[in-house]
């Protein structure tokens, strides 16, 4: 391996048409490689243009500099005059003051003089011609043929970042000091271990899991808490089963809150958003502000890609044609990968994790520790372990229900008995007697009647 410290920092010239992103690329290189830059416009403006021309026409230096695009040819001529007779004056003075990059050279005679003097190690062309107009030849007579390195700035962002990373690697291999091993050395990058799951976890969906981590209380503890209402000396007049049935049926929730289950889950963010609607739980979720989001996202199977339900506006109907569903799966995966490409590219350029995460899709996986008392857990199950709930959250709710059944069997049996019972209005009873749905019933009431009639 070459000694990365023998040559010091490289001297780079960045050229390209106006507004094609030269300064932006220079800023990215500064962030990644620890180099310093200034532009020919800014440097010469401070040296001579403000005193010689600007201060008689503008109220401030900043106003003059911001207006330079409206006087591009004039500025090019003033910079050219500054470089007469010494065509290397801007470059040599700039680099002599500690800068590593010269951004914005526009004249061939200046470039040729710098090449002859061997001032630069590399010349970089920044190109955005596919999305932005070229600069007029009157102010810019250099082209991409004058550069030995090409950086594509035509979008997407990850293409630009890849070019900069390749530049960093090239400079490192040539012996320059560019923070390669300190900031981004691909061979040494370690893979995050977030893909692993706990040994006792049950795999759900494609990359999700759920595991019971802790249980507090029992059916007996719940029953004993309920009997406190009678006083310490009162005998148990009901069995635990009968008492718990009474609690669940009559919605006496306080004793049921004496039992708790703590889960550890990995689930898609859109499922987490449905789960967190049940605000009575205690939770701690993976933070995309403190830690990097992992490229792990949910892609539904073909039979879960369904048409929009025409009656239930928030639900799905029948599965789509398998060929259509497969194409939808491909689009979902492509979109998620593209979002992660941009996310990871932004992190490399120095964008904060809390900002970069904004573009990630709702099918990105997150992790959460979720603790809920049994009273509120059976309320959650009544809504989420139901055919009307979205498939993905039903998968998690089903496992939660199995945990309640395992650790609190009497509560679960009472919950199911109450859940499966049917309460009917007078109009519903009249409909059943007549054998048809009477007018005035709501959609949900009509559905109950139809289901009962069909069951007969």
Distances 409 to 74, 218, 220, 258, 413 between C-alpha atoms, Å: 85, 9, 11, 15, 6
d(CA 387, CA 289): 35
d(CA 389, CA 158): 38
∠ CA 40-43-46, rounded to 5°: 140
Please identify which of the residues 277, 279, 384, 394 carries the catalytic annotation.
Answer: 384
Phi, psi of 311 (to 5 degrees): -100, -55
Strand order in the sheet with 101-103: 37-39, 101-103, 12-15, 122-127, 149-152
Angle, nearest 10°, between helix axes 157-173 and 22-33? 50
Annotated catalytic, 295? Answer: no
d(CA 381, CA 397): 6
Residue for token pair 């932006």: 24
Residue 126: strand pairing partners: 151
**Would you tell me how many other CB atoms lie within 10 Å of the CB of residue 429?**
11
User: What are the residue numbers of the active site?
Assistant: 384
């Amino acid at each position: 391996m070459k000694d990365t410290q023998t040559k010091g920092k490289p001297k780079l010239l960045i050229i390209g048409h106006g507004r094609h992103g030269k300064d932006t690329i220079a800023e990215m290189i500064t962030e990644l490689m620890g180099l310093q830059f200034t532009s020919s416009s800014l440097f010469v403006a401070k040296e001579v243009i403000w005193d010689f021309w600007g201060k008689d026409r503008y109220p401030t230096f900043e106003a003059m500099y911001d207006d330079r695009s409206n006087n591009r040819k004039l500025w090019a001529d003033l910079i050219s005059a500054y470089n007469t007779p010494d065509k290397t004056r801007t470059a040599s003075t700039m680099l002599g003051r500690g800068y590593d990059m010269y951004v914005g050279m526009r004249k061939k005679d200046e470039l040729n003089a710098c090449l002859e003097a061997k001032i630069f190690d590399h010349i970089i062309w920044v190109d955005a011609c596919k999305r932005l107009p070229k600069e007029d030849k009157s102010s810019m007579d250099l082209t991409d043929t004058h550069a030995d390195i090409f950086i594509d700035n035509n979008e997407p962002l990850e293409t630009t970042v890849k070019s900069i990373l390749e530049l960093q690697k090239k400079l490192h291999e040539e012996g320059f000091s560019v923070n390669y091993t300190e900031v981004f050395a691909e061979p040494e990058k370690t893979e995050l271990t977030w893909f692993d799951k706990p040994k006792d976890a049950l795999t759900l969906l494609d990359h999700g899991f759920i595991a019971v981590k802790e249980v507090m209380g029992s059916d007996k503890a719940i029953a004993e808490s309920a009997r406190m209402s009678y006083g310490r000396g009162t005998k148990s007049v009901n069995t635990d089963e009968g008492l718990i049935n009474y609690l669940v049926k009559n919605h006496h929730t306080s004793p049921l809150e004496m039992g708790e289950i703590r889960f550890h889950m990995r689930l898609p963010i859109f499922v987490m958003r449905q789960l967190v609607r049940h605000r009575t739980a205690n939770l701690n979720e993976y933070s995309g502000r403190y830690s990097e989001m992992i490229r792990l996202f949910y892609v539904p199977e073909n039979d879960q890609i369904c048409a929009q339900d025409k009656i239930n506006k928030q639900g799905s109907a029948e599965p789509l044609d398998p060929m259509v569903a497969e194409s939808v799966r491909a689009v979902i995966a492509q979109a998620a990968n593209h979002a992660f490409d941009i996310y990871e590219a932004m992190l490399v350029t120095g964008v904060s994790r809390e900002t970069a995460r904004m573009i990630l899709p709702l099918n990105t996986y997150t992790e959460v520790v979720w603790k809920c008392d049994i009273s509120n857990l059976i309320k959650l199950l009544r809504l989420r372990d139901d055919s009307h709930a979205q498939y993905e959250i039903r998968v998690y709710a089903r496992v939660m229900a199995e945990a309640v059944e395992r650790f609190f069997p009497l509560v679960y049996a009472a919950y199911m008995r109450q859940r499966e019972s049917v309460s009917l209005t007078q109009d519903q009873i009249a409909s059943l007697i007549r054998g048809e749905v009477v007018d005035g019933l709501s959609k949900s009431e009509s559905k109950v009647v139809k289901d009962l009639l069909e069951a007969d």
